Every structure is written in C-alpha cells, then in structure tokens.
Amino acid sequence: SSSGSIYNPSDVDVVSGPRTCEMESCFIYNFDYSGNDIKDHSYTNINSPKACQLKCQETATCAVFTYDASAKQCGAKTSSSGKKPDNTKVSGPRTCKTLQAPPTTTKAPTTT
C-alpha cells in the first residue's frame, strides 16, 4: 500500500476502527428489550447507557437493560426476549466482556 493512502481496495489485511475503543462495545443501539421489566427497577435521570448498565448490575435479577436517552430513563430487565427495533433506545447485557475481570488461573493439583 502506498504511503499517505487513505483507502486502497487491494489492502485486504486492513482493520479499521475508531480512534479509541469504548467499553460500551457490547451495547446494542436502536433496539429495545421490550417487556420483562423488573418491578420497582425503572430509573429516571440516568445520564448514559453505561450508567444504566451499572444500575442493572446493582439489581440482583437483572440480566439486561434498556436505556432511553431522550427521557433519561433506564429499565432493568430479566430477559432480552422482547428485542425489537426502536431508534430512541440503547440496550445491553448486565456486563460487557471487557468489564469482567480476567479469569484467574489455578494450578492443577499434582499427584505423586
């Protein structure tokens, strides 16, 4: 590939992406997990999908969440089974893989 080239169709080994990666890469934009609401776990004045995800993590039975940015509302949900398109919502899991601590490795016991 020539120096200074922005895009060359012959560059088959190219990966593109944003300048920085956000931990919210597991969020699903423009989708609502309709229904499956956890009683008394709908929150207002929530400022971001990330903050909504944290509310889900604080709720024992929460599996997924849906965030409505225009209303600043967050709903903790037990299931993603009601997934439907909605361009005002952002939904996601209780945790993103990038948020989880790496697995700890333990040495297998040795037998003699």
| Backbone phi, psi, residue 13, to 5° | -105, 35
Confidence class for position 36, pLDDT limits 50, 70, 90: very high
pLDDT over threshold 70, residue 40:
yes
This prediction's pTM:
0.66
Residue 25 confidence (pLDDT): 75
pLDDT at 65 (0 to 100): 97
- CA 61 to CA 41: how far, in whole Å? 10
Rounded to an integer, the average pLDDT of 19-39 is 82
Read off the pLDDT of residues 71-86 as tens digits, 9 standing for 90 and up. 999 999 999 999 999 9
